[in-house]
Amino acid sequence: MAQWNDYHHEDEDVDGEERDESGVDYKSTGRDSLVFLVDASKEMFKGEDEEPSPFDMTMQCVRSVYTSKIISSDKDLVALVFYGTEQSKNPRNSFKHVYIYHDLDLPGARRVQDVDGLRGEKGAQVAGETMGSGNTNLGEALWCCSNLYSDIKLRLSHKRLMIFTCRDTPHGGDSERDRQARTKASDLKETGVVIDLMHLMKPGGFDVSLFFCDVVSPPEDEAELGLQMEPCGKLEDLQKRVRAKEMKKRSVASLNLCLGEGMNVAVGVYITALQARKPNAIKLYRDNNEPVRTKTRLYHTQTGSLLLPSDTKRVQVYAGRQIVMEKDEVDVIKKFSDPGLELIGFKPMERLKLHHHLRSAVFIYPEEEMVTGSACVFTALLRRCSVRNVFALCKYTRIRNSPPRFLALVPQKEEVDDGQAQIAAPGFHGIFLPYADDIRTLDTTQLPTASESQVDKMKEIVHKLRFKYRSDAFENPVLQQHYRNLEALALDLMAPEHIEDLTSKMNTHTISSWFPGSGVQRSGVSSV
């Protein structure tokens, strides 16, 4: 008989549940696609005060997205297209001054190497020799990008196009070309393509209202970063804006939040933090390096005959007896309630304790497309919870056969930085609370009491070890070294890129501050 997995091990495994929620099924949802449309005019190659040129900043940003796609979502499609070039390279060269550097396809090591060849002063020379700078017709470039999307036979769930330029009037006041570009941008947006502008610093400032405000797409929802009026002057700012736009934010579940009888609000459940792991190893056949497919078959131990799913049952041992059940009976037992969130009540925030957190929280945000008016009711609930400093206690069932959990919905207000980029979205953090069965009682032994001098000395140690900690300031050195090694092998580099282990720097700072005479320098985590 097949093993009947214990209810706890199958559904309440924290790591397993988080992995299931984070998975993306490309067969059902489709793939994301991203086209970089880069201005290749002469103005893009001019840098100031030893700063990288707008073109060099763009290439570094494109490379960063390529490498991140390879690691995190290698099934997505990316393309790189230049406009305003002297040379033309597109199907049948039907679009003048448009150069397709990379077709819409999967990211790979070869493409990263191609982008590396366009970086720096040498890369600018290569770009000038390969493409050159010529007349600009943004309408033709948008039309060419539209054909890239239409030529793809795969199902695309999200189509995004990013324009990188430092010119606020690409056609120099040519009203006819401006009209053509606006018309083609409107056609693209009607087909579901989201157009974003990543404008870079130029002398005299960049005025979005002159042309591009009619080209770019409005924000898809209130949580998305809209058109930024200020241009990017630094690479970090540009990469930050691109990261905020490049990934489509998918919910792991769309549920109804029941506030009472007949009062339902549609919400989406998002994962904001998930433990990063090394990808699983892929087994290859040694003769041809083709991936090996694994299939599992069940056979009768006595007759050796193949067993079908209907021939197996589930069993669990209880009090020395084997409790045998059919698969349908197990499924019925597992179902406690329909998927959704059900409001139970409200509690003061001080009742929520740090030790109540069982796993990383989820984020709850309204889904206006499912139920009209959800955003309005959700916003009202969020504001009242914030004003009264309370959290909402809910019963959470993610899917049909998952066990119900208690969630504490902690309100979060929207926060933006100086560049009006969203730091924190408005919504509720869903904190998983324990059941009584999950709480353990520890038997502690009586320990000796510390003296006053020992307490004072420990206070000094604690005071010296204080520093401002942010989880996003530390990268996992093991993962970073792993991907650097893979990158070096894929790109045929002589040696992997050096990584900066910030955790070891923190240890250095700790030792130097604790033992001033140890000879260790104190320049540890001053930048953290």
* Residue 296 and residue 3 in contact, taking contact as beta carbons nearer than 8 Å: no
Q: What is the mean pLDDT of the chain?
A: 82
- Report percent pLDDT > 90 for the chain: 36
Give the pLDDT of residue 233.
59
60/237 Cα distance (integer angstroms): 12
432/204 Cα distance (integer angstroms): 52
Looking up tokens 């919870």, which residue turns up? Answer: 385
Q: Which of 27, 153, 295, 353 is labelled catalytic?
A: 27
Residue 263 CB: number of other CB atoms within 10 A? 11
Helix, coil or strand: residue 159? strand
Give the pLDDT of residue 108.
85
Residue 177 has, within 13 A of its CA and on its CB side, a CA count of: 14
| pTM value > 0.85 | no
Band of pLDDT at residue 219, cut at 50, 70 and 90 = low
Give the pLDDT of residue 10.
34
Residue of 379 and 445 predicted with greater confidence: 379
CA–CA distances in Å: residue 204 to residues 9, 43, 56, 164, 232: 63, 13, 20, 18, 14
Alpha helices in 107-166 (DSSP H): 109-116, 120-130, 138-150
Catalytic residue check, 122 = no
* Residue 77 and residue 148 in contact, taking contact as beta carbons nearer than 8 Å: no
How does pLDDT run across 151-177, given as a tens digit for each residue? Answer: 888 888 889 999 999 998 999 889 999
Give the pLDDT of residue 241.
66
How does pLDDT run across 67-101, given as a tens digit for each residue? Answer: 888 877 778 899 999 999 999 999 888 899 999 99
499/282 Cα distance (integer angstroms): 26
- The size of the chain, in residues, is 528
Give the pLDDT of residue 509.
53
**Interacting residues of 119 by C-beta distance below 8 A, sequence separation 6+:** 56, 59, 60, 63
Looking up tokens 């009586």, which residue turns up? Answer: 446
CA–CA distances in Å: residue 163 to residues 99, 221, 370: 14, 20, 31
- Considering 262-266, 341-345, 399-403, 417-421, the range whose residues carry the highest mean pLDDT is 341-345
How does pLDDT run across 96-146, given as a tens digit for each residue? Answer: 999 999 999 998 888 988 999 999 889 999 999 999 999 999 999 999 999
Angle between helices 54-72 and 120-130 (to 10 degrees): 100
Give the pLDDT of residue 505.
63
Question: In sequence order, what E strands does 2-119 have?
Answer: 2-3, 31-39, 77-83, 98-105
Closest C-alpha to 37, from 150, 170, 130, 179: 170
State the virtual CA torsion across 370, 373, 377, 382 in degrees, nearest 10: 60
How does pLDDT run across 274-324, given as a tens digit for each residue? Answer: 787 887 888 899 899 898 988 889 998 888 899 888 888 888 888 889 888
CA-only gyration radius of the chain, Å: 28
251/364 Cα distance (integer angstroms): 9
Residue 208 CB: number of other CB atoms within 10 A? 18
Give the pLDDT of residue 523.
35
Looking up tokens 């045998």, which residue turns up? Answer: 324
How does pLDDT run across 463-510, given as a tens digit for each residue? Answer: 888 877 777 777 888 888 888 888 788 777 788 878 777 777 655 555
Give the pLDDT of residue 102.
94
Burial state string for 439-468 with b = 16 or more CB within 10 A and e = fewer than 16: eeeeeeeeeeeeeeeeeeeeeeeeeeeeee
CA–CA distances in Å: residue 168 to residues 60, 106, 209, 231, 424: 22, 31, 8, 10, 30
146/187 Cα distance (integer angstroms): 9
